């Protein structure tokens, strides 16, 4: 039994390597564990001195002052309905591209980077969230924890973000 | 998979009797058709999902797929906390997703319900409207409510289980 298990390992390793892995930045929003593809990620910023949170805190989309430009910033905790009273000190802004325009995501904490097999990303059950399924690419597991892979294009295509771009 | 489905269908209707899985929730007995139950698994705290419905606890991985985990206590408006070790019925064909996990207090057993042993429900049983009930039976002298879980899980209306 022991020998059989050991003999299988190299083959499984080769099979895993044959599949192109996608690098994903892991982050947390409230009690939700999430990820976003590194390919669409431009920069990770500290919210201090970068964001101008002039809009009411309950508004999902606000303005991000970035190198002389105003970009839309999605408060992920507000979108997810898990917003705390204050932005936590671990909060970060993930600067991504969605719908071919730059977009900031205000998240509670960045957890790290992981390799994800795209073939193991499964769809989010319809009953699991009241949010539009276009906001999610799916779910994946890592170290017994389930992560939600957000869709850059889905977030960039949100009505609130489109309205910001128009204004 | 096809074999398993066939077996379940046969098991679900033997000699005219419908095989049901009997379970408990908040001290009351309920049943679901055996053919809809793919497996019974131990409860583990699911991963949280954003903006989930009140009765949905999150998602859990199951055989490479992901299940929405629905707490039947919360669906029935029971505010009392669930027991320390509840069970999860993995159900198929009862909602918008291929499979769903339903948290119940305890799974008791499988029992046959003969057609003449199942009565049409009165307008309400334990506060639950008849439209969510397939029938009412007698299980060892106690009322047993055979639920229409497809309706329970797809309806947006509140359902209140009375104490």
Res. A2 pLDDT band, cuts 50 70 90: very low
Query: Which one, of B40, B86, B43, B66, lies nearest residue A146 by Cα?
Result: B66
- What distance in Å separates residue A37's CA from the closest CA in chain B? 19
Domains of chain B: 2-154 (2.40.50.180)
Count CB-CB contacts under 10 A for residue B41.
14
What is the mean pLDDT of the segment spanning A133-149?
Answer: 96
User: Chain A to chain B, count of Cβ pairs less than 8 Å apart?
Assistant: 76
The pLDDT tens digits of the residues spanning A55-85 come to: 666 678 888 888 888 889 999 999 999 877 7
Which of A12-26, A96-110, B123-137, B140-154 is predicted least confidently? A12-26
Closest-CA distance, A64 to chain B, in angstroms, reads 23
pLDDT tens-digit map of B82-141: 899 999 999 999 989 999 999 999 999 999 999 899 999 999 999 999 999 999 999 888
pLDDT band at B8 (very low <50, low <70, confident <90, very high): very low
Q: Is there a contact between B64 and A122 if contact means CB atoms under 8 Å apart?
A: yes
Q: How confident is the model at residue B72 (pLDDT cuts 50, 70, 90)?
A: very high
Q: What domains are defined for chain A? A: 21-166 (2.40.50.180)
Which value does ipTM take for this structure? 0.83
- Band of pLDDT at residue A52, cut at 50, 70 and 90: low
Phi, psi of B112 (to 5 degrees): -85, 135
> Which pLDDT score is estimated for B58?
97
A 22-61 residues inside an 8 A Cβ radius of B: 29-33
Q: What mean pLDDT is reported for chain B?
A: 90
CA separation, residue A104 to residues A43, A45, A55, A66, A159 (Å) = 9, 9, 15, 10, 15
């Amino acid at each position: 039994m022991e020998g059989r298990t050991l003999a299988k390992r190299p083959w499984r390793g080769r099979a895993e390597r044959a599949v192109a892995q996608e690098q994903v930045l892991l982050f947390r929003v409230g009690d939700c564990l999430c990820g976003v593809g590194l390919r669409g990620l431009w920069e990770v910023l500290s919210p201090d001195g970068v964001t101008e949170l002039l809009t009411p805190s309950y508004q999902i989309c606000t303005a991000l002052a970035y190198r002389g430009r105003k970009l839309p910033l999605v408060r992920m905790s507000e979108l997810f309905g898990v917003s705390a009273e204050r932005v936590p000190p671990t909060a970060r802004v993930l600067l991504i591209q969605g719908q071919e325009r730059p977009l900031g995501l205000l998240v509670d904490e960045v957890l790290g980077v992981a390799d994800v097999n795209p073939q193991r990303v499964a769809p989010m059950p319809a009953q699991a969230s009241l949010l539009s399924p276009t906001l999610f690419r799916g779910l994946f597991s890592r170290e017994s924890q389930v992560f939600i892979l957000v869709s850059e294009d889905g977030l960039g295509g949100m009505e609130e973000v489109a309205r910001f771009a128009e204004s | 998979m096809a074999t398993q489905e066939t077996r379940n269908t046969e098991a679900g209707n033997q000699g005219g009797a419908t095989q049901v899985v009997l379970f408990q929730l908040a001290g009351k007995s309920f049943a679901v058709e055996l053919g809809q139950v793919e497996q019974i698994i131990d409860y583990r705290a699911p991963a949280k999902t954003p903006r989930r419905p009140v009765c949905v606890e999150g998602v859990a991985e199951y055989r490479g797929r992901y299940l929405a985990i629905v707490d039947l206590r919360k669906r029935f408006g029971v505010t009392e906390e669930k027991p320390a070790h509840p069970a999860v019925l993995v159900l198929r064909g009862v909602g918008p997703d291929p499979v769903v996990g339903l948290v119940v207090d305890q799974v008791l057993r499988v029992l046959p319900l003969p057609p003449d042993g199942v009565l049409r429900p009165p307008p309400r049983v334990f506060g639950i409207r008849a439209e969510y009930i397939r029938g009412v039976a007698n299980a060892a002298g106690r009322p047993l409510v055979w639920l229409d879980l497809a309706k329970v899980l797809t309806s947006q209306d509140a359902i209140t289980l009375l104490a």
